[in-house]
A = this chain, B = another copy of it.
């Protein structure tokens, strides 16, 4: 169960974890299973846990006044599911996070995570490295969203994230890209020609 998380950590740090450190980590993270469609976080609640996905797939989305869902994140194995704004500022979340497939998580509270970071120097580097990767990914996505047409955004996404294309249905991909499922369907038809 903890294997994925531990190797994820080792990949993002320079020095391997000691067995004492591994013990601390296993004590702080708690296993959690979600069935398909179960909520991990509901709009209006304050995020209590960050979840590392060991196995499964999840999505994060907002729901607008008309009831339309807007997918802001898709998650699979080795991703962290969380609304950082809510968990950092302790404000009610504007998002829902739920399981798209049956999912195994390792969850940790922000307090326990901060505690771990204080005790395990390697984690400081990991957090920074994760934040950097995250900032880069966000920058790319943002840039693509404001600069490219829907067609180009889809092409780029399909090229850079083929795992997501296979794993999630088309209407979720469309929403993630900020377009409707009909538009995506037509774009794909177009580009096959």
Contacts and interface: CB of A to CB of B under 8 A. Distances in A.
Q: What's the number of copies of this chain in the assembled complex?
A: 2
Nearest to A134: B135
Given A128-B127, A128-B128, A135-B138, A146 B88 contact: no
Given A128-B127, A131-B128, A177-B146, A139 B62 contact: no
Q: How large is the interface on A (under 10, 10 to 19, 20 to 34, 35 or more residues)?
A: 20 to 34
B146 A70 contact: yes
A69 to B, nearest CB: 10
A146 B84 contact: no
Contacts of A45: none
B143 A72 contact: yes
Interface of A: 62, 64, 70, 72, 84-85, 88-89, 94, 124, 127-128, 131-132, 134-136, 138-143, 145-147, 175-178
Closest 6 CB pairs of A and B: A146-B178, A131-B131, A70-B147, A138-B138, A85-B136, A145-B145
